[in-house]
Amino acid sequence: MIFIIVASILSLDQLTKFILVNKLSLYQSIPVIKGVFYITLVHNRGAAFGILKNQVPLFILTSLLAIILIYSSLKKGKHKKYYAIALGLVLAGAMGNLIDRLSFGYVIDFLDFRVWPVFNVADSAITVGAVLLGWSILFDKNVS
């Protein structure tokens, strides 16, 4: 099941980025819900919220380390359901953004709510995974 989650999120992330890079120019913005939600193509050369700009080697190393640790943990296969799903979401997100950094030197972002920095499917997976991971650790007995 975790493989399906990772493959689905990673495919959706890469497909949406591919389509938007080929349809929009950099910084072009299309309103989906005017005043609320836009599709805006940006290149994020930093980490979350654009911090630590142009630190590509650091981000690549960090992503690789996270991917290796998460994969190793999932390979053991002795986790509760939500904990494993959370790890799968974070893994898929880390892989999606790593592919961008290795391919382009930046991450392609496009989901724009105008009150939050522009983000992508991989970022969403990491965020949902991190929240679910925290919930699992706090409320599930014997998580791992």
Catalytic residues: 109, 123
Contact yes or no for 83/90 (Cβ under 8 A):
no
CA distances to 87, 101, 106 from 46, in Å: 23, 10, 7
Looking only at the bridges linking them, the beta strands covering 107-112 and 37-44 are antiparallel
Q: Which two tokens stand for residue 38?
A: 């836009």
